[in-house]
Amino acid sequence: MNETILSFVIITSGVLGYFLCLALATTSFYKSRANNYLSISLFLLISLSFLGSWYDKKNIVLDFLSLSMSEYLVAATLFIYFLIQIEHTYLKEKWCKWLYAPFIISVIIEIILHSDAIFHLYDSDFAVFVDYTKLFTVFGYNFFLIFWGRYLVKKSTTISKEKKRWLLRLNFFIICIIVSWFLSIIEISIYESEYNAHFLKILPSLLSWWILYYGVFKLQLIVQKDEIHQYLASKKTGNTKTKRKINKATVSKIITQLYVLMEEEELFKDPFLSRSDLAIRLETNESYLSQIINQENNKSVVQFVNEYRVKAAQNILHNPAFNKYSVEAIGMEVGFKSKSAFYKTFNSSLGMSPGAFRKLKKTS
């Protein structure tokens, strides 16, 4: 019964994982060069889990696929994925193509070993030596490339903090899979148990769903946010901003500095901006800052900052150049922490959702 349940879980999660691979490679929202490599990596991991579940030495096809060490290919495609995400110059190097060499060599060796009628090596000591050699080298190769990719991501200065954080989390999950895989080999060899091996078969599927619900979708939003930010930054030169009239009854110096922070430095785009942060930048205390903003605008600090965020979102949603970007990515760009906060504040200010506002502007 337990084996039946385990097989059902592996098959179900595997099919869903394959669906994710297809979505990454074909849908317009996710489709990119980097996600193509991620899709291949996930496909290989899930396929290896299936092969591990139904491996049969008597079946020549399954035996060949299992022993051809696709694990070499997993390491290579994941490493290329990280290079693309951080836009590393290694991508232009010719040696990148040699990352696939261990997999190709492994396939050639297996073709020779499986040509048993000619070479008579399949059950020889040489075949055993080759199996152990491949086993140890594939672990070393995976660890080397995954940790090298992690190092390059950490040192990268071309990506945002949010993107770096996600890539490091993905890298850590891959390391967990490799460690679990290594432990399963030891467990089977020494204790003749397969508990860890069963867990390993489910891990790629967990990885798939983590990537779908948290990872790739979140990362795609970050990528869109960065693209929006770069576009807006490129259009800033030569733009003239309308100067606000300052109420003389307030402390004009602080209000002037506050408007500079909001309109020129666009401090409101920081999702973690607090009243304390503003007070420190303006060299005043929080209570006095709240009093001044209330006196000048009849608003709280939060309402004052969100007013800028909503206005910035309106400008972006009104611009046809940003029609291809999701509403949530636009909300992130203007400083909202979450989709719900963006929708609630926007609707409170304008009486409609950001999506409805965008559609209204398209038809007008």
The 10s digit of each residue's pLDDT in 121-165 is 556 666 677 777 777 888 888 889 999 999 999 999 888 787 888
Of residues 51, 46, 54, the one with CA closest to residue 68: 51
Whole-number pLDDT of residue 122:
56
Q: Where do the CATH 1.20.1070 domains begin and end in the chain? A: 2-231
Mean pLDDT of the chain: 77
Between 4 and 352, the higher pLDDT residue: 352
pLDDT in tens, 55-89: 444 544 444 445 445 778 888 999 999 999 898 99
Give, in words, the CATH class of 240-363: mainly alpha
CATH topology of domain 2-231: Rhopdopsin 7-helix transmembrane proteins (1.20.1070)
Average pLDDT over residues 109-120: 64
Given a cut of 60, is residue 197 above it in pLDDT? no
Of residues 309, 220, 311, the one with CA closest to residue 270: 309
Whole-number pLDDT of residue 41:
84
Q: Where do the CATH 1.10.10.60 domains begin and end in the chain? A: 240-363
pLDDT in tens, 272-326: 888 888 988 888 888 888 888 888 888 899 999 999 999 999 999 988 888 888 8
Q: Does the reported pTM lie above 0.75?
A: no
Contact indicator for 230, 250 with CB cutoff of 8 Å: no
